[in-house]
Structure 1
Amino acid sequence: IEAGAAGGGSGAEAALRAELGRDAAGQLLCPPAGPATDPAFDNRLLAPAIERYDRARQALGGAESGEAADAHLGELHRAEQEVRRLVASQLRPTWDAVWRAVELLRALPAGARVADRWTRDRWSFTGHRDRVRSGEPPQPRRDDAVTAAQKLAARETAQAQLEAHEALDDPLVLAGRRLTGEAFTAEVLDVEPAWTESKRPSPRPLLTVRTADLPHLGEGVKVYRSLDGKPQSAQFVGYVPREPGVLVLRLLDRMGRSREPAEGTVPVKGDRIAWTLFEHEQRGGPKLPDPEDTPWTHGGPPGEPGAERPDPVTPEDLL
């Protein structure tokens, strides 16, 4: 993309040039990252250089005088340097490109939700460290059923939350979820005020939006958008007849407690919004029973052997 921008072309043109472009000598402009080198490089440049190196070694081994040996040693050194230069010419571009990519990534702003995840990760590790320092073992070889279920649920929740946050922070990740029908972007065409039918009506405005995506929407399905970093939910009402890609959503929450929606909580005509079919924050699962209340098939009842204890910590252990 950078090459395309520098040359006035598009990213696709730059990618094609990087993959197939060759110079006047028939060599690739961007050598392959490996493991195999380009045949044109092997046959036209590398093979002759290796042959010169082999001949120089043979000549040095057959030298009959000191002067001849010195001359052949110089030839061998030059041949070796040429082989090194050619190999470096194939390796260096990838090396430089990798570090350039790292620099570009470091220059990008961090995702809005990265700081919270980093804080949670540090607290999790700190808790683990404190348990180990207090004399508790890192973890048993085999957990009881309840502990194993809790750990599995925690990991599944963390994974789902990470995937949701990545999609919300990175448009490219969101594009992948759009392709699978788990998200869509839509332009607001109209906003119709509406309220619940109760003694204290709450706002439930209807949004008419148009999308070019193909989300997996069904009757009553909830969708979510990010509003000031918090999820705002809406309910799919239906598609507008004879208007492809046009559908109606009903906003459900985060509009304040008064009859009229708070300012900025309802989209306006022309807004382009990313909606997801997955929740932005994962909910906890059902409460699990205590280990002593589980049936014998899952580690109980009381009196059965408990979870196997781990091996004792030794000085060789690295935590």
Structure 2
Amino acid sequence: MSPLSALTALARLRAVRDGVAQPVTTVRHCHLAPNPMVIVPLGLAGEAAAPLGAVVGTDPGHPRLLVVPQPRDRDLRFSFAAELAEVLLPYIEGFGKTTETVERRGGEPYERCLEAPQILVPNRPAAGFLGLLGRSTRFRRADGPHPVHPSVPLLGRWLTYFADRSQQPGSCLLLTATEALSLHWATGQSGLEDANLAALLGWIDPPPGTTGRRAAEEGEDPLLWPPAGPATDPGFDNEVLGPAIRAYEEAPTERAVERVAQALRTQLEPTWRLMWRAAEVLRALPEGARVRDRWETDRGSFTRFAERIAEGGPPQARRDGAVGAAARLAGLERARTGYDVQRAYDDPLVMAEYRLSGEAFAGTVTAADPEHTEGEGRSRRPRPLITVRTADPVRLAPGTTVGSPDRRGHAAEIVGASAGEITLKVVKGMGRGRSPAPGSVPEPGERVTYTSLTDEFQSSAALPDPEQTPWTHGGPPQEYVPGDEDAQEEWS
């Protein structure tokens, strides 16, 4: 559905009227780990991936501040990366120590980590910044020209992985606070203004005695709530940060470093508090039923990448080949479709959008014929009929197969519709017997929902092997081997 759907637009109007954000879901559609790693990065203005500083940690009361007193200094940049690796890598690697055996129908069992790491960042630009930082470090080497600490290229590979995974709809390994909050609440401001974490939380959770509008206005004041990064406030850059960096250049002493650190601390600590407040607000929502399934997929992905690193596989290539890019795009499209369907199945408020568009309907069963069958002899199959009365605008043609969020594995076919009544034939989810299993057919008086949306397995796109890439798409790609050119790639 469109981000600004009819119900979302109505919720925004009510937020303006009531002075507080309105919920647009009944459950939480993202996994929230009990022990996430919060990272709030800052970058130097005018540089694509020059780290200025960051605050990181898993304990709200004990953040760790990382500082680059001169972001244009190559050695200081890599020292920052090594410090970040010192915090992040033990956290990540700790989840690979305990696994479970997963049985597969028709396949060999495999091992999967019992849990996976979760990184929380303030916004989408922060996630992109971590991706750029990963690209800038994953090819570096511990020997040769410009050597770095051995942890730096490993950090780069993990940051690249998390940034890539964050583009997967429904994945929660790298979660952005503004997107997660906007998924569950509608505010009285524009979507662009919702990208401001302080303003967004002001609408959702205003302090006692004030309105969401007033709290959002305060959230837009950079003196009260500095930008959540990675960009910094221009006034801060000119009046505070610039002089502090110049003082370090003139005399690189511990006192000069502390001056830069104190300046960055004033910008990072407010966002650090906002991040944990956002986590508390999200955690208060009950988790959707299918969130666990998506997190299991995340755990499987994390396990496979950890195994790749343990086996000594090369870092991710700079760019995908034609077949790899097509497969990735097809996978993202399938994931988006599945994610949208799962959210609708989990949440009646999300399903309401599809009811408005005619892709779903809800109503009460007025009649049922559980003994109805089709075919003769051995081909005879149970095909119960039910009639549902609904006030929804149904735009589904006879013959359309529909599913029900209330009954996993249940499917029915629309037989006909007239005067607010829909006749359906149950075709799936009745058990393996010659007659429907008890409770598998909706009974008169039962409230039901049906939709043409389906979350059934979708096969992968039919693509050639990379070796069969046609010449129109560059021909078969050469085997990727990291070289000196990769190791010398610039930061920006």
Q: TM-score, normalised by structure 2?
A: 0.42
- Which of residues 365, 368, 381 is equivalent to 1:202? 381
The aligned counterpart of 2:416 is 238
| 1:173 matches 2:350 | yes
Partner Cα separation in structure 2 for residue 164 and residue 310 of structure 1: 40
Q: How much has 1:252 moved relative to structure 2?
A: 0.6
Contact 2:321–2:477 (8 Å) recurs in 1: no
Q: For 2:435, what is the secondary structure of its paired residue?
A: coil
> How many Å separate the matches in 1 of 2:210 and 2:342?
38
C-alpha deviation, 1:281, in angstroms: 2.6
SS at match of 2:399: coil
Q: Give the whole-Å Cα distance in 1 for the aligned partners of 2:326 and 2:489.
A: 31
CA distance in 1, matches of 2:471, 2:489: 37
Paired residues for 1:1-319 under 5 Å = 16-18=17-19, 30=211, 32-35=214-217, 99=277, 103=280, 105-192=282-369, 193-200=371-378, 201-226=380-405, 228=407, 230-240=408-418, 243=419, 245-300=420-475, 304-306=476-478
- Structure having the larger proportion of residues in strand: 2
Residue 362 of structure 2 aligns to a residue whose secondary structure is strand
Greater gyration radius: 1
Say which SS state the counterpart of residue 165 (structure 1) adopts: helix
Task: State the AA in 2 paired with 1:137.
Answer: P
Q: What count of residue pairs does the alignment treat as equivalent?
A: 233
Q: Secondary structure at the match of 1:235?
A: strand
Contact kept? 2:359, 2:396, Cα under 8 Å: no
Residues 137, 271 of structure 1: CA spacing in aligned structure 2 closer, same or farther, 3 A cutoff?
A: same
Give the 3-state SS of the residue equivalent to 2:402 in structure 1. Answer: strand
Q: Deviations over 1:79-117 (max 9, x none)?
A: xxxxxxxxxxxxxxxx99x95x86564233211111111
Q: Find the aligned partners of 1:239 and 1:165 in 2 and give their Cα distance.
A: 27
Question: Given the superposition, is the C-alpha separation of residues 29 and 123 from structure 1 closer, same or farther in structure 2, using an over 3 Å criterion?
Answer: closer
Q: Which residue of 2 aligns with 1:44?
A: none
Runs of 4 or more, structure 1, over 6 Å off, are: 12-15
Question: Residues of 2 paired with 1:269 and 1:311: CA distance?
Answer: 69
Asked if the contact 1:157/1:282 (under 8 Å) is kept, the reply is no
1:202–1:259: 8 Å Cα contact kept in structure 2? Answer: yes
Which amino acid in 2 is paired with 1:197?
G
Structure 1: 5+ residue stretches without partners:
1-11, 20-27, 38-94
Q: Deviations over 1:45-75 (max 9, x none)?
A: xxxxxxxxxxxxxxxxxxxxxxxxxxxxxxx
* TM-score normalized by the length of structure 1: 0.62
User: How far is the alpha carbon of 1:129 from its aligned partner?
Assistant: 2.8
Q: Percent same amino acid at aligned positions? A: 42
